[in-house]
Amino acid sequence: LLTLNYLELLLQPVAAEVAAAAAQPVAEVDADPRTAPGPNGLTTAEVRRRRLQAGANLVPELPRRSFFRRFLQQYQDTMQLTLIGGAGLSLLAGHRRDALTIGAVLLLNGLIGASQDDGKARSVAALRALVGQAARVVRDGVEQTVPAAELVPGDLILLAAGDRVPADAAVLTATGLAVDESLQTGECTAVDKSQASAALAAGTPVVRGRGQAIVTATGGDSTLGRIGALLEGEERPAPLQRQMDQLGRRAGRIGLWVAAGVTGMALLRGQGLATALTAGVSLAISAIPEGLPTFVTLALATGARRMRRQGGTFQNLGAVESMGAVTALCCDKTGTITQGQMAVAEVRLTGSAWRITGEGYCPDGAFHRIGAPGEPMADPLADPAMRRLLKVLALCNNARLGLDDEGALVTHGDPTELALLVAGLKAGLRASGGEGDRLLEVPFDADRRRMTVVCRDAMGQAMACAKGAPEVLLPRCDRVFIGGVVRRMDSKLRRKLLQDATAMAARGLRVLAAAYRPVPLSVQAVQAEKGLIFLGLAAMTDPPRPEAAEAVRRCKAAGIRVLMITGDHPATAATTAREVGLDGGPGSIVSGEQLALLSDAELGSALAQAVVVARATPAQKLRVVRALRQGGHVVAMTGDGVNDAPAMREADIGIAMGDRGTEVARATAGLVLEADDLLTLVAAIAQGRTTRGNVRRTARYLLGSNVAEVCLMGAALLLGLPLPLLPVQLLWMNLAGDGLPAAVLGDQPPEPDVMRRPPEAGGDLLGPGFSRKVLGHGLRTGLAATALYAWALGAGRPLAQARSLAVATLAAAQVRHLYVCRSSSGAGQVRTAGAAAAAMSLGALLVPPLRGALQLAPLGVGELALAAGIGVAANKGNPA
């Protein structure tokens, strides 16, 4: 499981890279002398030379640590070191039983830690296996099989169904070639790779067809290699982990100092070395919260389990806590706030405007001319501009529509492109033979906001077809198609067309422009996107999700700031935002262009009033998240695609939407929602808050016990009394007595107002009142136990019995403390845990073998009642 998690986590950049590699047309690959293949493949001499340069085609191994080394590494923190010191000193003092008990606790900690720790090395081993054993290559004009590790960039490889792609490669020729990219995309469907220049990532299995490809990157430079390298990177520890580490270290340090002080004091008083050392060790143990890390982890794991039942998977435990601390929620628009199921509702040609009926991807619908009342147009394709526009939009398109065996519509691809295909179908457009012969593709990405393809028609003529955001495409058009003829486009017309686009966007429509141009067959990408002929605008509806407004309302009630960050037009985004209750005054809509002019320092104040950031590039999304974090926000960011991944990574927690989220988004996310339901997201915040509360309760309960013990030990020693608690007794109380209650406190149900109160200030888990409460409980309990202990000794009771009284007092106080720490809705479970904790303590006092092992003495009913009464009474006024 750990291996899988790591793989998932680290596959995050893969799709981005595959997309980038796909953008590299084969012409560019050819031009690179490192990768240029001869018709006969590379020569043996050339292979040797390149191998020296590029090294073996293997994912570099991480230095693997042995189990023993990992086991030893568990003992690097102060808490464990103090315990080791304690065991050693107990041995010195002649207390073998104490030393053994501490040793057992240490051993257990070490074994648990070591068995969890080597996920990284195992993940890299799994990555290495993905490269495969052998590869078929053409070298010196001869087809041969070589070990996959011996491939070099430029090698001509042969692929067939059943092979694994042995290195990153670009397709040269292929017949029906398809690979399974589930590793990158999470979808188990075969992905067609029969187009020349299609990018193949190392490690993907070929499921169909065959082909020739040229190796573009091997070993550490390949997709798998880069994932492997990422494994070495530092992981950012969750805030809670950091706090717990600090707390443990601090407690360990305090323990050491106090222990040293007490030992010194005892020696000065003339007590023997053995007694002084025992006193020191006991104090150190009383100060150390041995169970804290375990029970905090348990509380987080319980929170994650509960969320899974509600349809959300936290990818790591830190994510549960981060989710509970969120103060700002950044949502992308398309597919998260909106349904992401689009339909072209309007088309605006130069000179006419059309309305298109129908819903979703169903190809039933009609074209009405706006301003011409009456029947829908029988044949919209009779209009030459409409025909050309729809054709360009269908050619410049990678989505696919089809029918399955039962006649149901099957869709594949980007919702925007699907909507454009459906519009074509409604008009009666059918692909005509030969025209779809694609020579070149400059793919869409969120930075370019446009896509262009070059296709060859049946006559062998090439045509560039482009679509994209109007303000990006219009400046690339110098002509316009009006009424079947091509005219020059002047700046006045361009301005007017941009205004039309903005007016449509202001109605919440997502607007794309389309353009074309005849080009020479050998045209390069840069030329294909210049001097275009403008065709028209297609505007799509994408209604908000039904639950979006409610989710926004709940977040607001919980004091969480909701910010929509989208690549879409400001006017479209503003309308959608308003529809879901995200209104704002002046300064509430910030555009990418404005952001580009601001320094990082200015960005913070520009975002203060913002509810929408529109036309944001992936880099700007990241800047916004960073600025919010710098402004003290704990940021959650939703996303579904490659373009959201950098910002999701930057956020305190990334959230991948289930249905639409690509594997890239999932791998980056701390929380993956099973379905695209924003209310599940809200539930995850509630669960996160509940879990944080539970962690706080657990920590308060356990630390309260430590403070009480330290207080008792310190006070007794100051009074010159013998040591009140021995190391075995302390360990029993801390681990056995406190165990079940701590676990129950870590799993308290949510309080009814959990989403009606503001986020915790500063995201600080323990909060300002925390120390006061812990110290209050500890001091009261510790002093009460000291009083009883001193009284018993004064009354001439044997030492073992006085110790039993002290143990009984502390145990009763802890049971009472359990009630104080519980959540307002967790009374039932706490009752059972309280009874169990009481039974543990009574067992230690009443069951003879256990009592003997813990060096305690029997107590009468009256004495037990007295100790319990004092323990409970000491905590009567303890604040909840």
- Annotated catalytic sites, by residue? 332
By beta-carbon proximity to ligand ATP, the closer residue of 20 and 207 is 20
By beta-carbon proximity to ligand ATP, the closer residue of 238 and 590 is 590
Q: At what angle do helices 2-10 and 223-232 cross, to 10 degrees?
A: 110
- Is 469 a binding residue for ligand ATP by CB under 6 A? The answer is yes
CB 696 within 8 A of CB 704: no
Stretch that binds ligand ATP, among 135-143, 219-227, 464-472, 651-659 (CB under 6 A): 464-472
By beta-carbon proximity to ligand ATP, the closer residue of 450 and 545 is 450
- Please name which of 444, 469, 443, 465 lies closest in space to residue 456, comparing C-alpha atoms: 465
Question: Cβ of residue 206: shortest distance to ligand ATP, in angstroms?
Answer: 27
Question: Cβ of residue 568: shortest distance to ligand ATP, in angstroms?
Answer: 3
- Is 441 a binding residue for ligand ATP by CB under 6 A? The answer is no
- Is 424 a binding residue for ligand ATP by CB under 6 A? The answer is no
> Residues touching ligand ATP: how many (CB under 6 A)?
21
CB 542 within 8 A of CB 345: no
Stretch that binds ligand ATP, among 243-251, 358-366, 442-450, 665-673 (CB under 6 A): 442-450
The contacts of residue 300 (CB under 8 Å, 6+ apart) are: 240, 317, 318, 320, 321, 691, 695
Judged on CB neighbours under 10 Å (0-12, 13-18, 19+), 485 is exposed
Q: Which residues of 753-784 are buried (b: 16+ CB within 10 A; e: fewer)?
A: ebbeeebbeebebbeeeeeebbebbbbbbbeb
By beta-carbon proximity to ligand ATP, the closer residue of 77 and 471 is 471
CB 10 within 8 A of CB 649: no
The 477-516 site mask, x for binding ligand ATP (CB under 6 A), equals: ---------------------------------x-x----
**C-alpha–C-alpha distance, residues 802 and 366, integer Å:** 92
Question: Cβ of residue 523: shortest distance to ligand ATP, in angstroms?
Answer: 19
**C-alpha–C-alpha distance, residues 472 and 454, integer Å:** 19
Torsion of CA 74, 77, 80, 82, to 10 degrees: 150
- One of 467, 554, 689, 773 touching ligand ATP (CB under 6 A): 467
Q: Map 146-205 to HEC letters.
A: EEHHHCCCCCEEEEECCCECCCEEEEEEEEEEEEECHHHHCCCCEEECCCCCCEECCCCE
- Is 168 a binding residue for ligand ATP by CB under 6 A? The answer is no
Question: Cβ of residue 433: shortest distance to ligand ATP, in angstroms?
Answer: 25
Stretch that binds ligand ATP, among 135-143, 327-335, 601-609, 712-720 (CB under 6 A): 327-335
By beta-carbon proximity to ligand ATP, the closer residue of 450 and 623 is 450
Token output for 164: 């694994």
By beta-carbon proximity to ligand ATP, the closer residue of 353 and 501 is 501
By beta-carbon proximity to ligand ATP, the closer residue of 98 and 542 is 542
- One of 208, 226, 333, 545 touching ligand ATP (CB under 6 A): 333
By beta-carbon proximity to ligand ATP, the closer residue of 467 and 476 is 467
- One of 91, 446, 503, 873 touching ligand ATP (CB under 6 A): 446
By beta-carbon proximity to ligand ATP, the closer residue of 445 and 677 is 445
Stretch that binds ligand ATP, among 41-49, 71-79, 240-248, 411-419 (CB under 6 A): 411-419
**C-alpha–C-alpha distance, residues 821 and 698, integer Å:** 8
The 629-648 site mask, x for binding ligand ATP (CB under 6 A), equals: --------------x-----
- Is 451 a binding residue for ligand ATP by CB under 6 A? The answer is yes
Q: β-pairing, 168-180 with 156-160?
A: unpaired
- Is 450 a binding residue for ligand ATP by CB under 6 A? The answer is yes
- One of 101, 223, 339, 416 touching ligand ATP (CB under 6 A): 416
- Is 334 a binding residue for ligand ATP by CB under 6 A? The answer is yes
Judged on CB neighbours under 10 Å (0-12, 13-18, 19+), 624 is buried
The contacts of residue 459 (CB under 8 Å, 6+ apart) are: none
Beta partners for residue 512, in sequence order? 538
User: Positive or negative, the Cα torsion across 666, 667, 668, 670?
Assistant: positive
CB-based contacts of 94-101 (< 8 A; 24+ apart in sequence): 94/274, 95/274, 95/278, 95/726, 95/727, 97/728, 97/853, 98/278, 98/281, 98/726, 98/727, 98/728, 101/727, 101/728, 101/731
Residue type, 123: S
By beta-carbon proximity to ligand ATP, the closer residue of 251 and 637 is 637
- Is 444 a binding residue for ligand ATP by CB under 6 A? The answer is yes
- Is 817 a binding residue for ligand ATP by CB under 6 A? The answer is no
Question: Cβ of residue 774: shortest distance to ligand ATP, in angstroms?
Answer: 45
CB 533 within 8 A of CB 473: no
Give the Å distances, CA to CA, from 805 to 194, 227, 789, 844, 850: 81, 59, 7, 12, 16
Stretch that binds ligand ATP, among 68-76, 314-322, 409-417, 605-613 (CB under 6 A): 409-417
CB 613 within 8 A of CB 647: no
**What is the DSSP code string of 400-451?**
EEEE-TTS-EEEES-HHHHHHHHHHHHHT----TTTTEEEEEE---TTT-EE
- One of 12, 223, 322, 566 touching ligand ATP (CB under 6 A): 566
Stretch that binds ligand ATP, among 48-56, 58-66, 444-452, 515-523 (CB under 6 A): 444-452
- One of 153, 358, 468, 727 touching ligand ATP (CB under 6 A): 468
**C-alpha–C-alpha distance, residues 437 and 395, integer Å:** 9
Beta partners for residue 199, in sequence order? 170
By beta-carbon proximity to ligand ATP, the closer residue of 510 and 817 is 510
Stretch that binds ligand ATP, among 61-69, 330-338, 727-735, 844-852 (CB under 6 A): 330-338
**C-alpha–C-alpha distance, residues 723 and 719, integer Å:** 11
**C-alpha–C-alpha distance, residues 217 and 641, integer Å:** 25
Question: Cβ of residue 491: shortest distance to ligand ATP, in angstroms?
Answer: 21
Query: Which residue's CB comes closest to ligand ATP?
Result: 567
- Is 760 a binding residue for ligand ATP by CB under 6 A? The answer is no
By beta-carbon proximity to ligand ATP, the closer residue of 213 and 564 is 564
Question: Cβ of residue 473: shortest distance to ligand ATP, in angstroms?
Answer: 8
- Is 358 a binding residue for ligand ATP by CB under 6 A? The answer is no
Give kind and range of the element (H or E) at residue 283: helix 273-287
The pair phi, psi for residue 442, each rounded to 5°, is: -105, 100
- One of 17, 346, 383, 417 touching ligand ATP (CB under 6 A): 417
The 228-267 site mask, x for binding ligand ATP (CB under 6 A), equals: ----------------------------------------
Q: Which residues of 509-540 are buried (b: 16+ CB within 10 A; e: fewer)?
A: bbbbbbbbbebeeebebeebbeebbbbbbbbb
Stretch that binds ligand ATP, among 306-314, 561-569, 734-742, 815-823 (CB under 6 A): 561-569
Stretch that binds ligand ATP, among 275-283, 353-361, 465-473, 575-583 (CB under 6 A): 465-473
User: Positive or negative, the Cα torsion across 289, 290, 295, 300?
Assistant: positive
- One of 568, 677, 709, 738 touching ligand ATP (CB under 6 A): 568
By beta-carbon proximity to ligand ATP, the closer residue of 283 and 399 is 399
Q: In the complex, which residues of this chain contact ligand ATP (CB under 6 A)? A: 332-334, 414, 416-417, 444, 446, 449-451, 467-469, 510, 512, 566-569, 643
